[in-house]
Amino acid sequence: MGSGDPYGRQLDGMGAGISSLSKICLVEPYGRRIALPERGTRFRTGFGGIDAARESAQVAQTQEEAQGVEEEQNLDIDYTFVGLGIENDEVDIAGNCGNMSSAIGPYAYNAGLLPARIYAQGDGEVTVKIRNTNTGKLIDSTFEVIGAEAAVAGDYKIDGVTGSGSKIKLDFKHPYGSKTGKVLPTGRRVDKVGGYRVSCVDGANPCVFIRADDVGVDGTILPNDFNKLPEKLALLESIRKTAAVAMGIAPTEDDVPRTIPKIGLVSQSSSHPVLSGQTLKSSQMDIVLRFLSDTQPHRAIPLTAALTSAVAARIPGTIVEQMLAPEPLMEGAITIGHASGRLQVNATMGTENKLYPVSGTVFRTAKRLFEGKTFWSDKTDKREEATKSDSLYGSNGKHSLGLA
C-alpha cells in the first residue's frame, strides 16, 4: 500500500494518501481461519491487543450467541477489514469499514467463494450472509446477479460517488456493542470529556458525538476548510482519545486505535454548500454531521458512523437526538447531511428494550476495478530487490485476498 510514507502520498504502493484509500479487505469462506500478520507488526486492535484479534472468530461466535442470533450455521463469508497507516506503517484491525462492506458480497460471488446453494439460484436477487471478524457482527448483503456475475450497471446514485450503479442492500444485524458490548459504554447518554459534553455510542462502530458549536467549528464546514484548522483537529483528536478510554476501548490514550472510536461534529439542519458545489436546503435533511476518519475530515460520512448516528438518534437524550429536526424527513429513517450530500439510514430498535437496535439498513453500490498482481520492494533486504507478490489467486484458482 505504500504505507510508512513520511510525505503522506503512498507513491510506493497502492494507497492514495488519505485514510479512505488505504484499506484492505480479507475475504474467506465462513469458518476458515483468516491469517493475520505475525507478531511484531505495529497493530491497533483495541483493548485486548493482537491476541484478541487472532481470536476474533471465537469472539464473534460468543457475541452472536449472546444476541440470540440463530442463523450462524447459514453464514457464507468471513470478512476482516484492515486500515493501513499513511505516514506510519501501522496496521489497524480494530473496527469495521461499512463502505467496504458493500463490496464483500459481490466480490465473494464473482470469486467463487460462496456455497453452491447460492450459485444454484442463478440470475436474480441473492443474499450473502457476512460475518465481520473485526466486530463479530453479521451483515446481510443483497444484490442482483446478471449473467452469473454480480450486477454493476444500474440507476442507483449515491451522493459523493460519481455515476450510478446496481443497488446493494446492506442489513446490519444487531448493530450495537461492536467493541464494548454496550450501546452506551459509559452508561450515560451524555458525558463530560475534557470539559466538553459528548455522547459515546457503540453501534456498528464506536462513535463520539459532540456539538460543532461547542468546539467553535461551523457544523457545515467542508473538508478543505477543516484542514486549515489544525488546532481544532488536534482538540477533537484529544477528546476522541480521552473518550475512548472512558468507553473501555483502550487502557490508555497511547493505546487508542486510529480508526475507533470515530468522532463526529453534530449540528442542526441548515442550508449549506457541499463538495459538488450544489446547495442543500435545510428541509432536505434531519441533521448535519461532519466526521473525522484517522484524524482527517471525511469527504462524506463513514458508513458505520452513519449507522451509529441512526442508533444514537433513536435514544432520547443523546446529543444526536437533541439536534434532530422536529419532524423526520422520512418516517423510520434519519436523513444525514454530510460534506458530499445526504445519506438515509434506517435503525430498527427492539420492541422490548428500545435502547438496543435489532437492525440497521443502508443502500450502496460497488464494482470491480481491476484484478491481478501487485509488486513491492522488500525493505528488509539490504539489496532492495524488487519482490513479486503472490498471485491474488490461490492454488485453486480462486481469489483468496480482496484488495480495496
306 close to 98: Cβ distance less than 8 angstroms: yes
Judge whether 19-158+367-403 and 191-364 match in fold.
Answer: yes
Q: Is 255 helix (H, G, I), strand (E, B) or coil?
A: helix
Judged on CB neighbours under 10 Å (0-12, 13-18, 19+), 7 is exposed
Instruction: Return the exposure string of 39-71: e unless at least 16 CB atoms fall within 10 Å of the residue's CB, then b.
Output: eeeebbbbbbebeebbebbebbeebbeebebee
Annotated domain spans of the chain: 19-158+367-403, 191-364
Here the cell at position 369 is: 476495478
Q: Which of 63, 57, 135 is nearest to 95 (CA)?
A: 135
Helix (H, G, I), strand (E, B) or coil at 192: strand
pTM of the model as a whole: 0.81
Domain spanning 19-158+367-403: CATH 3.10.310: yes
CA angle, residues 153, 156, 157, in degrees to nearest 5: 115
Q: Which helix (H) or strand (E) holds 272?
A: strand 272-273
- Residue in 285, 282, 267 with CA at minimum distance from that of residue 342: 285
Residues 6+ apart with CB under 8 A from 222: 273, 274, 275, 339
Q: How far apart are CA 259 and CA 270, in angstroms?
A: 28
CATH number of 191-364: 3.10.310.10
pLDDT values of the chain reduced to their tens digit, one per residue, 404 residues: 999 999 999 998 999 988 888 999 999 999 876 555 443 344 554 433 334 444 433 444 444 444 444 445 589 999 999 999 999 888 889 889 989 999 999 999 999 999 999 999 999 999 999 999 999 999 999 999 999 999 999 999 999 999 999 999 999 999 999 999 999 999 999 999 999 999 999 999 999 999 999 999 999 999 999 999 999 999 999 999 999 999 999 999 999 998 899 999 999 999 999 999 999 999 999 999 999 988 899 999 999 999 999 999 999 999 999 999 999 999 889 999 999 999 999 999 887 667 889 999 999 999 999 888 888 777 655 444 444 444 444 444 444 444 43
* Residue 391 DSSP code: P
